[in-house]
Amino acid sequence: MARDLVGKVAAVTGAASGIGLASCEAMLAAGATVVLVDRDEAALDAACRRLGDKALPLALDLLDAPACASLLDRILAKAGRLDIFHANAGTYIGGDLTETTHEAIDRMLNLNVNVVIKNVHSVAPHMIARGSGDIIVTSSVAGHFPVPWEPVYSPSKWAMTSFVQTMRRQFLKHGVRVGSVSPGPVISALLKDWPEENLRKAKEAGALIEPSEVADAVIFMLTRPRTVTIRDVVILPSAFDI
């Protein structure tokens, strides 16, 4: 991989596994220093030991309001500045709406919507002051198509589609690019809540993609000339039937 991100500092939320970890690995391979943000301290430490000195762990529970508000300060304390922010942390609810709980709905909407907006609100002034930066949000194909077995998750990702398009327009004049990557089903811990029959069919049909394939799209977005913004990349398994 070309080392197109040499000298850059990135931060990735939900970095201890799945798409977040794959994104960190890809950015490190491209030469960046990466702050890995996750609430799972043990998984973070294990990942950073494996990834080397340019992988910096930041244990943080983004659902804790004071901790969430401290995000930028703690990134700057680790790395000194921030060039790239990948808002990736999220959770999932699938199945019929009546099968879930109010508590699960609150947690998912807080993490998938509120935390992302708060995180961007926190990091944007730093990037605006420097006149440059990249913000990428992990959305989903469910943010572009009303998936019938995802009545809570899909609306949360439609909100991110709107948010990214709004922020892209607001931040463009400041030299800050905003885009989202919208994968179909990815082989990760989030799929544990998929209806069992849907998951079985997807595996049998080859209708799942690897986190590394999403990370490849993130690197593509980050390495375009500054005159080009990739607003949204939808990346699907070829056999995914939506």
Tens-digit pLDDT profile for residues 185-211: 887 766 666 667 777 777 777 778 899
At 132, the amino acid letter reads: S
- Which residues are catalytic, by number? 153
Average pLDDT, the chain: 93
**Which domains are delineated in the chain?**
9-233 (3.40.50.720)
> How much is the pLDDT for 169?
96
Say if CB 236 and CB 184 are below 8 A apart.
yes
Three-state SS at 228: coil
Instruction: Please determine, for residue 143, whether its predicted confidence score (pLDDT) is greater than 50.
Output: yes
Span of 14-18, 176-180, 197-201 with lowest mean pLDDT? 197-201
The conformational region for residue 107 under phi > 0 = left, psi -120 to 50 = alpha, else beta, is alpha
Mention every residue, 6+ apart, whose C-beta is less than 8 A from residue 119: 13, 62, 68, 71, 85, 87
> How much is the pLDDT for 1?
47
- In angstroms, the CA 168 to CA 191 distance is 30
Mean pLDDT computed over 63-86: 98
CA angle 162, 164, 167 (to 5 degrees): 105
> How much is the pLDDT for 190?
63
> How much is the pLDDT for 197?
77
At 93, the amino acid letter reads: I
